[in-house]
Each structure stands twice: as C-alpha cells, then as structure tokens.
Chain A
C-alpha cells in the first residue's frame, strides 16, 4: 500500500489520541465537525490545528482507506478504539522527521473563517487589479451576492484611492508571504486572479508544483490561516476577516441550553422544557464547560472530586472515561461519567492554560 499525505495525517492523529479513539473520531476532526465530542477531542489531545484539515475526504473513501491501513498492519483495533502498530509508529516517525509543516496552521481557530475570507480577498484583489489597469470587463471569480455586496461597501471611490488600496494590500500580503515556505507563497499567489493573469484552480496549482491534491489544499488553507492571524495589524486583510473570526464556538443548541441555565433551571427541567433527553442536555453542559470562560464547574463537581479526576487522568495516562472511572472506584471514589466528562472538558478546554488545578 502506497501511503499518501492523508494516510500519514490519519496515522499521526491516531497516535496523538493514544489509542483512546476510533478512526471515525479522527474523521470528524479532519472534517471539522462542530459537535461537542469532536470539539473536546481536539482540545484534550492537543490537535486543534488539525480541525477541519481535510474536508475533501469523502466518508466512503475514508472508510475504505482506514480499513486498508488496518489490513496492512499500520493500525490495529481493540473494540472500536484504534491505535498504531509498531509498523505504523515507524512510518509516522519517518514522515514527521522529514515533513516540513507550514509556517502556521490553526484549523480550529480559523478553519471556519477561511473560505469566506478567501472569497473576499480573491475578489478584492481581482477587482483592484483590473481597475488600476483600467480594464472594466472581466468575469468575477465569485458570483456570491453576499461577497459582492461586502466589496461594494468598501470599494474605494477615486482612482488615487484604488491605487493606494492596491499598493497597501500588496504590502500586507507580501509581509505575510515572505515568511512562509516559498512553495506555499507560489501556491497562494498562483491562485489569485487579476489583470492579464488568471488564477489557477487548486488542481492546476498542485499539478504545477507536483503536490498532491490533499496536501496542496491543506497548505493553501494554512496560508489563509496565517493571513487571518496577521490581519489584526493590517487594514485590508482585517476587513476581509472582519466578522468571521469571532464566530461562536458553541453549537446553537448548546447556546439555547445556556440560556435556560442562566434562567436558573436545572438539567432535568431543561430536558423537559426542550423535550430532549437528559443525556443531550448533559452534552451541552459539557460543551459549555469546555468553552465558557465563566463556567461554574464547582456547582456540578466539588473541588476535591475535580482534583481526584484530573489526578486519575494523569496517572492512567488516558482520557478514556471508563478507565478513569474504574481507577477512581479502585480508590473508593465515586464519580459518575458526567462529572468526569465535565471536569476533563473544563480543564482540557479553553481554560487549559488560564487556570491551574485547584489542588
């Protein structure tokens, strides 16, 4: 079996997950599924950059390829959980030792914003380019009314303003691109359209650079993430990113649950009011524990239990709930799954660095 980029990424993520997770969990990470489970997975296992990394991977072919990896003894399963074999560990290590990762990529933070950011940026560059070369008729790269409206609102009026904007945008792009691997800069600029040079499709750009399609798609996204990350200190890149980066991390349904919680209802009451299962509401609360800076965890899990749970996770070296629960029981500590999930989510989530364990 000839391993390609996507296989290495899958193997790498399985490795990061310590044999705790199924291959499907990895698929959800790569697809960028915004469910509380997947969001927590990327945080617990420290793989937030990989969130929504390979969105073009179809479910059907994923299953086939994951099975092939198992069939060729790169991975093995114990029940549903998948882990690497020695052979798998070896190829991942070899891959990592020579693979030059992009300068920056952060799928969890910027993956959602990147597609619209690109549409705005590409259209902006194209329109400026034709306009400063006094050419008015061309085919816009994007027909989306919303993107065109966005541009209309910021379109510079006078010739001088257009020239100034083009020059400024040039410098903003240049300053980021000069710091990324050269091939990534080529990949990115080749995709931009303008006067007398039409952008290439991703497929064409990949072909010219002898890159596979997954890898070129990934590296192209990485440049976008880099641009978004640097947008704060710019004029036009920040306009392209405006309103996209502050997207809610919470799923909509979890936000609804939060509203009920703030009204003072408890989980059972909310489940009844929303006609949902208790376990569903629990999922939402776990999500809130992970994402909400002001989440009051002590009102669900006593402080001493929190610290017991985290110690158990550390000792057992896993985030698997069953293992942690059994470990705690062994020490005569009673904890239900909900308490464990909440605690792991809370300390593994956005509070990871902001807070210390209250030991």
Chain B
C-alpha cells in the first residue's frame, strides 16, 4: 500500500487531494504534469517515489534557498540520502557529490549546473528513476520567469536516457503548460490541475483618480485591515518610500523587501514577517517564492503585475489558512506607462546588439557570458538572452562559420519582437481584466485560465459586491524592542 510507504518515510497517515493519483502515475513511469496550489504538498509527489523507486531522482529547481530548505527538511526527517548541487558549493564539495551519486536517492540541482558536461555525464551513468522539474513554468518562453538555461532541459533529459518526467508548477495557463510539455519532450503526459480559484480571497479593483492619491488610498486600506498583509509595488525605491509613509502615518510596523538588499537583511525581514514581528511587507516581486506564511490577510497591488499569472501567484499568498482574506488592486489611468517601460527594459536595444556583435567579431573573442557581462557591460538578463539566442542561431541551417553580423542581428531582433509582442499581449490582457467592470471579476479571471466558476461566493469580487474586510485584533507586538540589551541577550542565550 502506498500509505504504508508514506508512513514509513514521512510519518503521515494520509495523502492530500491529488497527491496519491500523481504519485501512482509517477510510479507507473508515466510523464506527469501537475499544477498544484502552493502549500498542497507538491514536493512529496517526487520525494515519495524517489524513496520507493530503485535509482536516483533528479530534481531541477530554480531557487537555491528552496533546494537547501528541502534538503534540510528531509534530513530532519531522517532521510539523509539527499543532496543539493549548485554553483555555490566549493570545488571539493561538488566533487564529493559527483563521486558518491550512487549513495543518494534525491539530487537537487540547478538548471545551470545540470548542463555542465561533467555533471551530465556522471548523471548519465546512474540509473535515473525520475526527472522532476520544480517551478516548471520557468521553462516556458511564455512563462513569467523565463530563464534561458531551462530551455535546454529537454536535451538534458534525453542525455540521461529519457527517464520519466514530472513537471510541477503552481500556476500555468494552457499555452504555458503546452510549452512546458513540448520543451521537456513529454510523451502522452497525464495532467493534474488544481483550480486556481482561491475561494476565501475576495478580489477587488479600486479606482484612484491620480497617482498621488494612491498613497492616501493605500493608507486607508492598510489602516482598516486586519494584519498581517503585503503590498506589492513595481520598484525598489517605491517599496522604501511607501514603507516610510506607512510607518510615519500609521500605527503599524511595516518594512520593505527587494532584490537590492543584502542577503542578511532580506533573511531578517523575511523571518520577522514569518514570526509576526512585522505587520506589512512592502515588496517588489522578489519577495514570495518559497515563503509559506498561512495567515496573510491582505495582498494589495499598489502597481498591477505584468500578467495574470503573476497576479494569481502574488494574490495567492493570502489566506493559505483558509480564513477570509482579500486581494486589492489599485488602478489609475496614469499607470499605463510604467509596465510598458519595464517590458522595454527587459530586452537589449538594437544599438546595444550591434555594438556587442561588432566588437565581438572584431576582437574575435570567446562567445561567453563573461565577455558579455564584464567586457561589454551588459545587464545579466540581457547578456543571457543574447548569449542563448546567438547559440541557437548557430544551430540553424543558414548559419555559416563566418558570422554575418547583420544576419544575427535580424534573427535576434525578430525574437525580441516576438517576445515583446507576447508580453504586451499579456499586459493588455490583465489591463482589460482590471479595467472592465461589466461582469464578475473572478469569473473572468478563471476564464483566462480555462476554468469555469463552480459556485457563487458570498465574498466574490467588487463587481458582485463584497463587504469590506475589517480589522478585529491589534497589530504586531512591538514591545519586544523595548527590552534592555541585557534582557535581550539573556533571552537569546539562556534557556
């Protein structure tokens, strides 16, 4: 019985909703695609098969912190035959793992690492029982966290003898799902999809006449709402400014979080939020992945996200405990410029392309990321983009040994054009959804993901009408900061 294994390895007595069917499909050697809400036990879907099966399960995971967490959790459960392989390990540590592959049941690995020749070769000598890809939406050219390294995973899988594949994600609309399955070269895959509908989260779009008034609107919402909550903004600077505004004007403890902070500071803020020492996190989309805080009551989008997938992910951080929560998006007419600007900034400009290619050819340099980033001074995203698609161009039939710069440029520009067009389409989709008030907002959201609403909700959306979520109890306990340093030191180190 599958439950016996579950108890033996993990100490649980029963599966959650879809888990059992997914695991059965995996054990039957089928290719599986599973879209599961965060917190619904995604990782068990490959962890349990890994310990039941002969051989090694490879888990491709995009986020270092996620890998480390999972390895730590498994080890705490006494399941020690696991390791995380990534570029941050020392040379010796990497070697050790590669030489002891047969002693592991699960190997977490980053998409960058698994493409290294020596790694791929070492893995190919092992019996790979399962090829799992976490956060699989990153694979898709049309996914919202597109990473070029991910596009090679189909090839890698083949090199490992095409073991059965499990693709996991929290959100992927149909076209992204199809792209994932195509990229991973899945054969007759079995699909499992949770509904993206979060019935305990009400959805609200709030019109604000001017950008300046957004601030007042934000303060009014935060003032009246139960804590804790999150505010998503589009820039680091704004995150800091709005934090100051909330701290000065309201009796809440707020703090910002963005990718420009040191790792230490980010960890501290995250931990403070998890511990309930901070009421409101004001953050860019750098915050979120892998964070599981059950009692978030509200998510306010001060700026709306760039597509509906991001929206679903970000608003979905509210109400994991099933209690009533709310998602609010502020909208003003002036908002149209910024997201467009951000899309433009994601891609290298035409002059930049010409300059880089010309320079590269003149100096006959090695075509690698170091050249692009350090010599040409490209932003990392731009460098990765150019690097990857240049390589891809070299694989096309028309490419000759003597690189014609104009030809490469045309090729790259075409791709940029295609991807921009797609991004603008996604942006218009969320804008249409956001600005149209003529039918149920939730229903239209579900429709975009190919779903239908199953039940009418009491607290549905601003179009259907909702009663506001009100604050019941007080805010985070700030008294902790009032202790003397002697007391604080003692409480840390005395049991």
Please determine whether chains A and B interact with each other in the same assembly.
yes
Contacts of B272 in A (CB 8 A): 198, 200
Which of the 9-residue segments B86-94, B308-316, B441-449 touches chain A?
B86-94
The answer on a CB contact under 8 Å between B269 and A197 is no
The answer on a CB contact under 8 Å between B492 and A200 is no
Is A6 interfacial (CB-CB < 8 Å)? no
Given A139-B270, A189-B485, A198-B272, A167 and B494 contact (CB-CB distance below 8 Å): yes
Complex-state Cα separation, A185 to B484, whole angstroms: 9
Is A206 interfacial (CB-CB < 8 Å)? no
Is B495 interfacial (CB-CB < 8 Å)? yes
A contact face: mostly helix, strand, loop, or mixed: helix
Contacts of B90 in A (CB 8 A): 145-146
The answer on a CB contact under 8 Å between B486 and A174 is yes
B372 CB to nearest A CB, Å: 25
The answer on a CB contact under 8 Å between B485 and A185 is yes
When C-beta atoms are compared, the residue in chain A nearest to B265 turns out to be A201
Contacts of B275 in A (CB 8 A): 196, 198
Contacts of A102 in B (CB 8 A): none
A199 CB to nearest B CB, Å: 5
The answer on a CB contact under 8 Å between B263 and A197 is no
Q: Which of B480, B489, B494 has the most CB of A within 10 A?
A: B489
Cβ contacts B384-417/A at 8 Å (1 or 0 each):
0000000000000000000000000000000000
Contacts of B355 in A (CB 8 A): none
Instruction: Pick the residue among A132, A140, A167, A189 that contacts B488 (CB under 8 A).
Output: A189
Contacts of B485 in A (CB 8 A): 177, 182, 185-186, 188-190
Is A45 interfacial (CB-CB < 8 Å)? no
Contacts of A128 in B (CB 8 A): 493
The answer on a CB contact under 8 Å between A197 and B492 is yes
A270 CB to nearest B CB, Å: 30
Is B440 interfacial (CB-CB < 8 Å)? no
Complex-state Cα separation, A165 to B486, whole angstroms: 18
The answer on a CB contact under 8 Å between B493 and A138 is no
The answer on a CB contact under 8 Å between A139 and B264 is no
The answer on a CB contact under 8 Å between B493 and A204 is no
The answer on a CB contact under 8 Å between B88 and A192 is no
- Tally of B interface residues using CB under 8 Å: 36
Is B85 interfacial (CB-CB < 8 Å)? no
Cβ contacts B187-198/A at 8 Å (1 or 0 each):
000000000000
Is B255 interfacial (CB-CB < 8 Å)? yes
The answer on a CB contact under 8 Å between A190 and B493 is no
Q: Which of A139, A146, A163, A202 has the most CB of B within 10 A?
A: A139
Within A165-205, the residues touching B (CB, 8 Å) are 166-167, 169-170, 173-174, 177, 182, 185-186, 188-190, 192-204
Show 28 residue pairs from A and B whose CB-CB distance is below 8 angstroms, ordered by the A residue: A128-B493, A129-B493, A132-B493, A138-B271, A139-B270, A142-B264, A143-B267, A145-B88, A169-B493, A170-B490, A170-B492, A170-B494, A174-B486, A174-B489, A185-B485, A189-B485, A192-B489, A194-B493, A195-B492, A196-B275, A196-B491, A198-B268, A199-B268, A200-B268, A201-B255, A201-B268, A202-B265, A204-B255
Beyond A129-B492, A193-B268, A194-B493, 19 extra complex contacts between A and B, CB < 8 Å: A119-B264, A137-B73, A138-B271, A139-B267, A141-B264, A141-B267, A141-B271, A142-B263, A143-B65, A145-B93, A166-B495, A169-B493, A177-B489, A192-B492, A195-B492, A196-B275, A197-B492, A200-B272, A208-B481
**Chain B residues in contact with chain A, CB under 8 A?**
64-65, 68, 73, 76, 88-90, 93, 255, 261, 263-265, 267-272, 274-275, 277, 480-481, 484-486, 488-495
